[in-house]
Structure 1
Amino acid sequence: MKAPRRPIQVVAAWLRRQPPKVKAFLAVVSGMVALVFLRMVVHDHDNLFIAAEAVHSIGILVLIYKLMKEKTCAGLSLKSQELTALFLAVRLYCSFVMEYDIHTLLDSTTLITTLWVIYMIRFKLKSSYMADKDNFAIYYVVIPCAALSLIIHPATLHNLFNRICWAFCVYLEAVSVLPQLRVMQNTKIVETFTAHYVFALGISRFLSCAHWVLQVLDTRGRMLTEMGYGVWPLMVMLSEIVQTFILADFCYYYVKSVIGGQLVLRLPSGVV
């Protein structure tokens, strides 16, 4: 006689049987429910952006723990770490010259730890680096982001170069995780600490997206004009949404794996 399945397992089995369009609809509904919940629970929605940066830092700390404990960088994308360091460095520069605040401190901490991860992958643990799997050409994202930032950037009173840098780091952040997703696509198996890191990125991106959406709702659209006129405010919102949905599918399989008690995440074809 089979043991009765837990409700969460029944729901997971039902979700697996649904067509992609239904899954996408349910994902959107779940996101909207989460936004409503955050709006009721978090009174100062600027704290969501701070939380997003804090979660990103936690994800980096998970990587550091993996590198120090297991002495291997297998499954990690050096290119994603380099893109992360690049957009953080640019954002840190913008923060220093445009608005020095708590975000400057958080970005500084995250950048330092990211540079340490890059150093470990490039030199100390180079023998375990899966260069053949980390085959995403980063100029496919850096060049388009740079070109787009020249065309669409904030229309504020800041120096033009600073405004272009601001736009560049926003666009690059949205796609910086793509090389890591390519590595996972190539291997199909994601070990525990790497999965924790990518999940932390997903949560970070969602909190950041929630921050902007709720700020716009709270100010009844005035937040959009404060960021500058023209297409730029819409591009900021689009970038936040894109980077959230890029990781949404992975986060679903991560949660499913954790619920199932699996230590290693196995991804089906076409997930990332």
Structure 2
Amino acid sequence: MNIFRFAGDVTHLISILVLLLKIYATKSCSGISLKTQELYALVFLARYLDLFTDFVSVYNTVMKVVFIVSSVAIVWCMRVDRVVRRSYDKDLDTFRHLFLILTSFLLALLVHEKFTFQEIFWAVSIYLEALAILPQLVLLQRSGNVDNLTGQYVLFLGAYRAFYILNWIYRYFTEQHFTRWIACVSGIVQTALYADFFYYYFISWKNNAKLQLPA
């Protein structure tokens, strides 16, 4: 494992911890897209089908379990917890995420590394993760004001993808047979989707003002 992948994993974990802190400490999920969280839960469930069949390392297994459990727990809390779900911005979270799932599945059938059940669903998870942030970004644009914890959650989530791009660049120059082009291209697309958010986050930080996104 190289430093860029480790940094990506750490920032990904921080983003999840920030989101869990917001939900459990404030008993609110205002500003959080349930549809994005459902997509992330599907991403991890589809990607880690090999959890009980292929052992790479203790670190790898623990990370898989953490991502699956935490994503499912967030969805459960937003859907089931009576206090938390009252703050859910249902009227703003209207992005048709089923379209993203269908698009990712069809794309995986057309562009994949191997035509096997596990590899197809791995490709689905890669494509879906690249698009999963869209409902969240749309919700934030519609709401305008973004609270600190929600802003930090999206920031760390974007940083995670940026570190993974550096990871793939590093692997390209250090590994003799680099084959994860699907993940690399999808990661670049996903990071590009954060560009607008990063810009306004930097402006708000520079001016020491509350983060606001244009509608």
Both structures adopt the same fold (TM-score exceeding 0.5)? yes
Cα distance, 1:175 vs structure 2:
0.9
Change (3 A) 1:235 1:110: closer
Distance 1:114 1:234, change over 3 A: closer
Q: Which residue of 1 aligns with 2:63?
A: 106
The code of the aligned residue for 1:223 comes to: H
Q: How does 1:52-131 map to 2 (within 5 A)?
A: 52-98=8-54, 100-101=56-57, 102-124=59-81, 125-131=84-90
Superposed CA offset, 1:124-183 (max 9, x none): 21111111111011111100110111121113xxx7111111111111111111110110
Find the partner of 1:146 among 88, 105, 109.
105
2:5 to 45, 49, 67: 49
Q: How does 1:1-272 map to 2 (within 5 A)?
A: 46-98=2-54, 100-101=56-57, 102-124=59-81, 125-155=84-114, 160-219=116-175, 222-224=176-178, 227=179, 233-262=180-209, 264-269=210-215
Moved over 4 A (4+): none
TM-score by structure 2 length?
0.91
**Given that residues 12 and 160 in structure 2 are in contact (C-alpha distance below 8 angstroms), is that contact kept between their aligned partners in structure 1?**
yes
Deviation for aligned residue 1:96: 4.2
TM-score, L = length of structure 1: 0.73
Task: Quote the Cα distance in structure 1 between the aligned partners of 2:100 and 2:22.
Answer: 27
By how many angstroms is 1:255 displaced? 2.3
Listed as ranges, the gaps of 5+ residues in structure 2 are: none
- Does the aligned pair in 2 maintain the 1:150–1:164 contact within 8 Å? yes
Are the equivalent residues in 2 in contact too, given 1:215–1:223 (CA < 8 A)? Answer: no
> How many pairs were matched up?
212
Identity %: 32
Check the 8 A contact 2:46/2:125 in 1, yes or no: yes
Higher relative contact order (CA 8 A, sep 6+): 2
Give the greater-gyration-radius structure (CA): 1
Q: Residue 93 of structure 1: SS of its match in structure 2? A: coil
Task: Tell me if the contact between 1:94 and 1:166 (Cα under 8 Å) persists in the aligned partners.
Answer: no
Cα distance in structure 2, aligned partners of 1:99 and 1:171: 24
Tell which deviates more after alignment, 246-255 or 178-187.
246-255
- For the residues of structure 1 that align with 2:155 and 2:142, how far apart are their CA atoms? 18
**Alignment partners' CA distance in 2, 1:149 and 1:88:** 16
Query: How far is the alpha carbon of 1:95 from its aligned partner?
Result: 4.8
Deviations 1:235-269 (A, max 9, x none): 3321011011111221222122122222x311124
* C-alpha RMSD of matched pairs (Å): 1.8
